[in-house]
């Protein structure tokens, strides 16, 4: 709920810093930033807490300031399919808000997270009044469409080993000259399997196959990519 008063300077500073980290939203006009800040409410969610459930009315738009969340859909037999894994500097709840539908998936905090919650109508009111903001939204939604096109391609055309190789390369970080994929507290085998659209046993076999080929080494806190070039070849269709 807004108060009608200008946003507090500290409040606005935090929002501006966050917007500057969000792709496509870093260049929106100061007036729009101030309007977003005026209606945004900070929320904290503990690890494992549900932020919203698939099928709920899309009443809010979320800016992720700290932590990781996942968006999933659940099949009738209880199988979970990951849609998005998002880290700080990302947006979620946007597709439902802009399409006027209910939330298409359930979003859960993978670790302690801080978000800014903005009423859906406040965001929708800004679009016709500010073309620069409208273009930022269009570019952002275009990126989401491309993500889902790639997800469909992955699940329909690539096997688990191929998807695994590609995902590891996308999430690798350079440490002391080696590519490492750090394992956070929540990156269990079950969570990794969900991300790849498979089950734990299949993922475990895929990791063992790639490890036996000398492409990677699975350790307790990380996965070391021993041969990124060959792994990249395995990650292609």
**Tens digits of residue pLDDT in 193-231:** 888 888 899 999 999 999 999 999 998 889 999 999 999
Domain final residue pick, 156, 172, 204: 156
Whether residue 123 lies inside any domain: the answer is yes
92: closest CA among 141, 134, 46?
Answer: 141
Note the pLDDT of residue 133: 94
User: pLDDT tens for residues 74-105?
Assistant: 877 777 888 999 999 999 999 999 999 999 99
**Among 100, 127, 156, which residue terminates a domain?**
156
Query: In the chain, what's the furthest Cα-to-Cα distance?
Result: 63
Q: Is there a single domain that holds both residue 59 and residue 23?
A: yes
Query: 214 and 138, same structural domain?
Result: no
Q: Does some domain include residue 218?
A: yes
208 shares a domain with 97? no
In degrees and rounded to multiples of 5, residue 201 shows phi and psi of -65, -40
Q: Per the domain annotation, does 1 fall within a domain? A: no
113 and 173 share one domain: no
φ/ψ of residue 109, rounded to 5: -75, 125
Q: Are residues 27 and 140 in the same domain?
A: yes
CB neighbours of residue 177 within 10 Å: 5
Q: Is residue 4 part of a domain?
A: no
Position 7 scores a pLDDT of 52
CA dist., res. 31 & res. 40, Å (int): 14
Q: Are 227 and 133 contained in the same domain?
A: no
Q: Which residues of the chain have pLDDT under 50?
A: 1-6
In a domain? residue 104: yes
Residue 124: the pLDDT is 96
Q: Which residues constitute the domain of residue 103?
A: 9-156
Least Cα distance to 218 among 185, 186, 189, 176 occurs for 189
- Tell me the C-alpha distance between 64 and 113, whole Å: 8
Q: Is 62 exposed, middle or buried (0-12, 13-18, 19+ CB in 10 A)?
A: buried
Q: In the chain, how many domains are there?
A: 2
Phi, psi of 104 (to 5 degrees): -80, -10
What was the pLDDT predicted at 5?
Answer: 44
Identify the CATH number of the domain in which residue 111 sits.
2.60.120.10
Supply the pLDDT for residue 80: 84
| Whether 120 and 225 share a structural domain | no
Listed as own residue / partner, the contacts of 210-213 with beta carbons closer than 8 Å and 24 or more positions apart are: 210/161, 210/164, 210/165, 210/234
- Read off the CATH number of the domain in which 172 is found: 1.10.10.10
Question: Is there a domain that residue 3 lies in?
Answer: no
């Amino acid at each position: 709920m807004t108060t009608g008063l200008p946003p507090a300077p500290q409040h606005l500073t935090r929002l501006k810093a966050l917007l500057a980290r969000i792709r496509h939203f870093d260049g929106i006009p100061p007036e729009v930033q101030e309007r977003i800040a005026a209606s945004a409410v900070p929320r904290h969610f503990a690890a494992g807490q549900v932020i919203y459930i698939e099928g709920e009315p899309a009443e809010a738009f979320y800016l992720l300031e700290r932590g990781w969340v996942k968006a999933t859909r659940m099949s009738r037999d209880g199988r979970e399919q990951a849609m998005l894994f998002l880290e700080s500097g990302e947006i979620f709840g946007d597709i439902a808000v802009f399409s006027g539908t209910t939330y298409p998936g359930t979003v859960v905090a993978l670790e302690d997270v801080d978000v800014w919650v903005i009423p859906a109508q406040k965001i929708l009111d800004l679009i016709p009044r500010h073309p620069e903001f409208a273009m930022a939204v269009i570019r952002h939604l275009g990126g989401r469409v491309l993500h889902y096109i790639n997800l469909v391609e992955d699940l329909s055309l690539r096997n688990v080993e191929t998807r695994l190789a590609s995902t590891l390369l996308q999430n690798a970080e350079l440490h002391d000259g080696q590519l490492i994929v750090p394992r956070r507290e929540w990156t269990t085998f079950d969570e990794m399997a969900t991300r790849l659209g498979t089950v734990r046993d299949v993922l475990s076999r895929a990791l063992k196959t790639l490890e036996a080929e000398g492409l990677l080494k699975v350790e307790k806190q990380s996965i070391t990519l021993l041969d990124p070039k060959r792994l990249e070849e395995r990650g292609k269709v």
